[in-house]
């Protein structure tokens, strides 16, 4: 199975790398409309990005072996090593050679080192592992039946995840993509770390499928706690992010990217239940359902982004993603609860367990934002931000815990209220 997966990933990686090299000129001239003096740098960078991706998809094969063995300590060490080399040392590379191609040359070397790291660890942890690609039709069939919808989801995600930047460059200009990219890169790195942590639910939930309802109970309880913890981190970045960007990148860039980062972090908070439900659907082999829901979300996101970019400019791209989640995911998650969770709790109870976390996170966000603004007004930007860096996280998590305690004490009243709301908006038939 591993050798067949490696064969597939090598083929896909080489095809993607080759395709990027072949269309680099077209992307530079027609899609992103890069100025002539930066065109050569952009072409090299696009090709290097393809090389990084090639090593990354090969690494994924061996890293998946470690995930399957549930050696999460090793996963954490490997991810920390990759993050440190990519982002920590990457700052030093840019300081010595401030060119995009320099950073991508460094990232290419890091990707190669990480690939060798996962390869060696997989060989050590899983004795007899074949390190060379080999095609086996039986293994390919098993893999395809499980992952064909995930592959389709990934392919659809390529244009959808870049639609916001494409709309920005065509409707506003290349400079808008750079400003938007600052906020998006910060958000994507943080969200990526959280999704990696939530990804530990997949093997754990899969292992409990033998007992009816055990996987669902595990997902609801553990996923709810992980969402609450991650939501507090998102809220902290939402509050402190704009001023930290000003201190890091300067007033000009920070003031433009900061509001975008706040909207993107709100979208990340709203997407926390999606991370939990995605892991459940993957663990139970229902990848088709997950993919179809992502298609609906993507369609709404692209349409909303197109409208809001025209109305609100740069910030409209971030609002498009937020609206795409808000208008589609709660409906989809409620459908999942009604279909697969009825044996352990009512639909309202399941929905509240995941979504009331958002109310706790938002309460902490509001209080944290109020404290942060007061500290900035009283102490100034630099001293106020430094004090807030310690005080705001404490207040946010304290407010979240207080809200959670209040909800738990009034659980029956909250469930009754939610049931009444569902009945009034016509989405749920009264039950005896």
Is 186 within 8 Å of 241 (Cβ atoms)? Answer: yes
Q: What pLDDT digit, counting tens, does each position of 76-128 carry?
A: 788 888 888 888 888 888 888 888 889 999 999 999 999 999 998 888 888 77
Checking if the pLDDT of 55 tops 90, the result is yes
Q: What pLDDT digit, counting tens, does each position of 217-267 carry?
A: 888 888 888 888 889 999 999 998 888 888 777 777 778 888 888 888 998
Q: What pLDDT digit, counting tens, does each position of 303-327 carry?
A: 888 888 887 777 788 888 888 888 8
Checking if the pLDDT of 157 tops 80, the result is no
Checking if the pLDDT of 206 tops 90, the result is no
Q: Give the per-residue pLDDT at 419.
A: 64
Q: Give the per-residue pLDDT at 430.
A: 44
Checking if the pLDDT of 428 tops 50, the result is no
Q: What share of the chain is helix, strand, coil (3-state, %, to 5)?
A: 85, 0, 15
Mean pLDDT across 204-212: 63
Mean pLDDT across 180-198: 81
Checking if the pLDDT of 427 tops 70, the result is no
Q: Give the per-residue pLDDT at 48.
A: 93
Domain ranges of the chain: 1-135, 161-427
Mean of the per-residue pLDDT values of the chain = 82
Q: Rounded to the nearest 10 degrees, what angle do helices 314-340 and 347-379 cross at?
A: 150
Q: Give the per-residue pLDDT at 210.
A: 58
DSSP secondary structure letters along 281-339: HHHTT-HHHHHHHHHHHHHHHHHHHHHHHHHHTHHHHHHHHHHHHHHHHHHHHHHHHHH
Q: pTM higher than 0.95 for the full model?
A: no
């Amino acid at each position: 199975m591993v050798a067949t997966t490696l064969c597939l990933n090598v083929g896909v990686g080489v095809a993607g790398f080759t395709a990027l090299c072949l269309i680099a000129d077209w992307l530079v001239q027609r899609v992103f409309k890069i100025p002539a003096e930066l065109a050569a740098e952009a072409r090299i960078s696009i090709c290097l990005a393809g090389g990084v991706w090639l090593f990354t998809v090969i690494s994924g094969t061996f890293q998946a072996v470690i995930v399957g063995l549930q050696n999460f300590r090793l996963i954490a060490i490997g991810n920390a090593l990759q993050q440190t080399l990519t982002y920590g040392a990457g700052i030093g590379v840019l300081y010595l050679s401030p060119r995009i191609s320099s950073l991508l040359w460094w990232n290419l070397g890091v990707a190669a080192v990480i690939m060798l790291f996962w390869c060696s660890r997989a060989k050590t942890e899983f004795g007899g592992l074949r390190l060379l690609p080999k095609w086996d039709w039986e293994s390919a069939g098993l893999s395809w039946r499980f992952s064909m919808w995930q592959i389709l989801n990934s392919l659809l995600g390529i244009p959808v995840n870049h639609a916001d930047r494409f709309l920005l460059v065509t409707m506003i200009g290349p400079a808008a993509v750079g400003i938007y990219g600052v906020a998006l890169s910060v958000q994507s790195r943080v969200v990526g770390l959280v999704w990696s942590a939530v990804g530990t639910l997949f093997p754990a939930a899969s292992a409990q499928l033998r007992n009816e309802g055990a996987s669902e109970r595990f997902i609801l309880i553990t996923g709810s706690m992980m969402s609450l913890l991650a939501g507090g981190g998102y809220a902290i970045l939402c509050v402190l992010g704009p001023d930290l960007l000003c201190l890091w990148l300067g007033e000009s860039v920070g003031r433009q990217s900061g509001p975008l980062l706040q909207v993107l972090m709100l979208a990340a908070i709203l997407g926390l239940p999606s991370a939990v439900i995605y892991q459940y659907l993957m663990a139970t082999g229902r990848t088709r359902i997950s993919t179809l829901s992502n298609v609906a979300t993507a369609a709404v996101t692209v349409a909303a982004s197109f409208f809001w970019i025209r109305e609100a400019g740069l910030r409209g791209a971030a609002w498009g993603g937020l609206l795409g989640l808000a208008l589609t995911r709660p409906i989809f998650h409620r459908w999942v609860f009604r279909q697969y969770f009825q044996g352990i709790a009512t639909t309202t109870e399941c929905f509240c367990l995941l979504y009331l976390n958002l109310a706790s996170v938002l309460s902490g966000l509001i209080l944290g934002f109020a404290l942060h603004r007061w500290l900035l007004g009283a102490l100034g930007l630099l001293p106020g931000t430094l004090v807030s860096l310690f005080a705001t996280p404490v207040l946010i998590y304290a407010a979240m815990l207080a809200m959670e305690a209040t909800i738990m004490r009034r659980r029956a009243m909250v469930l009754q209220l939610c049931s009444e709301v569902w009945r009034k908006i016509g989405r749920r038939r009264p039950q005896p």
